[in-house]
Amino acid sequence: MVLTEKDAKQLDRDDSLSRFREEFYIKPNTIYLDGNSLGLLSKRAERTLLESLNDWKEHGIDGWTRGQHPWFFLSERLGEMMAPLVGAEVDEVIVTGSTTVNLHQLVATFYKPSGKKSKILADELTFPSDIYALQSQLRIHGFDPDTHLVRVKSRDGRLLEEADIIEAMTDEIALIILPTVLYRSGQILDMNRLTGEANKRAILIGFDGCHSVGAIPHSFSEWGVDFAYWCNYKHLNGGPGSVGGLYVNKKHFGSAPGLAGWFGSKKEKQFDMEHTLTPAESAGAFQIGTPHILSLAPLLGALEIFAETRIENIREKSLKITRFLMDLMDQELSDMGFSVGNPQEDLRRGGHVSLEHNEAARICKALKENGIIPDFRAPNIIRLAPVALYTSYSEVWTAVQVLKKIMVEKQYEKFKNEREVVA
């Protein structure tokens, strides 16, 4: 079956999520396919940011307990709104810190080397910041990262096999840190299976959900995941530098935070100003410092949108529109040197398509010149993320036709095949 522009338009007419497109600021004559790096601004996120600015304007310091969005309880309120997206109880989620800061907090809390059980298990394809944090934590404990950070190897440089990860869960492993979705290839790891295997071996396991939260459903509590952490500026559209999120299974409530700070206090005790911390009896205990209110505020509006549709509906469209993109690529560009580096199976594919090409960096520059916003990852990956809430099938159709024109006309040849400062 040959796909046509008419098919794309019919898919748009049938799209139950199409109404949310009007919620976002979409630049005219631009097709934005980089929502897996930074989601677009929604009108609701803009509104709640302005409301919080107004709380500051009207109430000054009393904005901590007054106004539309009292700041003192804002992280807990957002955690409650976010809990359904990760399959957690409301007190198991808090919006705080950043991805790497939260990872440091969780490793400092849950990494407890004892005897030969002293190594941390990760993988060789994970995002570099996670590796830097793990190396740092090992050094703090007096261990050499070269010997105590075990990285599971990929068989093909794109994907990980769960069997290889499980095989690496030896009696020397004290803690496991893995991505939910691999940032390059978009592969979803079988979190349920991996958690079960870790639990059998009495190894604590945590997940980096940066490329999955807001794009796929999770069941962290049901699966027995010990902890997780993620950013909120990709699929959740919280804005650049948006405050991150973390999850801690309630079975660990009462664990002393490895990195203590006054915002981890029990709320009613925080302003007693005692020199003995009384931690919150929830994930809130793992907060450290005063929250960044103006980076929290847009999430209030962004998460309202997610509350109006189920994450399962978002996932359904995401799978359908990424499949449409892959099918179009196969139809239009099969003889132009591209290969698809992400899994084909729905159960293993996240929210973006990973195209590989030897000229990837310069192709991305040509796409941008033509109004298509992609994402480049070294050495040869073009990531395209048709986001369920604001990308149309017609845009995907147009993007592929533009890419075909770029390749036929060799428009990319005028650019250097190297990344910009920010890829």
Q: Tell me the C-alpha distance between 45 and 66, whole Å.
A: 20
Share in percent of the chain as helix, strand, coil (round to 5): 45, 15, 40
Kindly state the DSSP code that residue 200 receives in the 8-state scheme: H
Tell me if residue 71 falls in helix, strand or coil: helix
Question: Are 173 and 120 a contacting pair, CB within 8 Å?
Answer: yes
Kindly report the backbone phi and psi dihedral angles of residue 203, in degrees, each rounded to the nearest multiple of 5, phi listed first.
-110, 130
User: Distance between CA atoms of 33 and 390, rounded to whole angstroms?
Assistant: 10
3-state secondary structure of 68: coil
Q: Is 127 annotated as a binding residue?
A: yes
The whole-angstrom separation of Cα 363 and Cα 52 is 41
- On whether 132 is known to bind a ligand per the annotation, the reply is no
CA dihedral 399, 368, 214, 79 (to 10 degrees): -160
Q: Is 129 annotated as a binding residue?
A: yes
Cβ-based neighbour number of residue 77 at 10 Å: 17
Report whether 99 belongs to an annotated binding site.
yes
Local structure of residue 235 (DSSP, 8 states): T
In sign, the C-alpha dihedral spanning 271, 273, 274, 276 is positive
233 labelled ligand-binding: yes
**Three-state DSSP state, 423:** coil
Instruction: Check whether the bond before 379 is cis (ω within 30° of 0).
Output: yes
Annotated binding residues for pyridoxal 5'-phosphate, written as ranges, equal: 99-100, 127-130, 208, 211, 233, 262, 290
Annotated binding residues, written as ranges, equal: 99-100, 127-130, 208, 211, 233, 262, 290
